[in-house]
Amino acid sequence: MTEDRPSVYEFAGGASAFLALATALNNRCLEDPVLNHPFSHPGHPEHLERLAGYLGEVFGGPPIFSESCGGHSAMLLIHAESGADEDMADRFVTCFDLAVEDAGMSYDLEFRQLLHEFMVTAAREVNSVSPFGSVVPPGTPMPHWSWNGPTDS
């Protein structure tokens, strides 16, 4: 019964678990022949911590990404107008699913399915702003997911 469970963030293991996931995801993307290109370029020196903060916040963790990195609109702006191919979203989801395994996250089926469903939704949203000329509205709300999926808060 999901109402007796801790938040998804707490269930996952908190900040350290999401940092392990971000690290594993980055490594998986570097191994992918298509995703390697965008992931191999030097980015922000705290990329992994920022990614971990974003993912953690989505699943009930502290609002680290929103407070220090500009929130959801800022994340979308990083990926906007990249001209990404349609298959990049599917490749990213595959890398994410494998990274969940690599990071040693719980084998709880409901947990794994929830992470997967979030990433499918997130990858589609990022792909939607990848065409040149795309506009990301300021103040796009941060997604939040609970055991029941996306929430309004």
pLDDT at 114: 98
Res. 3: pLDDT tops 70: no
How far is Cα 61 from Cα 76, in angstroms, rounded to an integer?
Answer: 20
Three-state DSSP class for 13? Answer: coil
pLDDT at 116: 98
Q: Is 128 exposed, middle or buried (CB count within 10 Å of its CB: 0-12, 13-18, 19+)?
A: middle
The packing angle between helices 87-102 and 14-31, to 10°, is 130
8 A C-beta contact, residue 103 and residue 15: no
Per-residue tokens: 3: 């109402």
Instruction: Of 31, 9, 10, give the one whose Cα is nearest residue 102.
Output: 31
pLDDT tens sequence across 12-23: 999 999 999 999
Measured CA to CA in angstroms, residue 148 lies from 60, 82, 102, 117, 152 at distances of 12, 32, 25, 11, 12
How far is Cα 102 from Cα 100, in angstroms, rounded to an integer?
Answer: 6
- Residue 151: strand pairing partners: 144
In eight-state DSSP terms, residue 147 is T
Instruction: Of 6, 137, 2, give the one whose Cα is nearest residue 59.
Output: 6
Res. 117: pLDDT tops 80: yes
Q: Where are the domains of the chain?
A: 11-151
CATH class of 11-151: mainly alpha
Residue bearing the bigger pLDDT, 110 or 128: 110
Percent of the chain with pLDDT over 70: 93
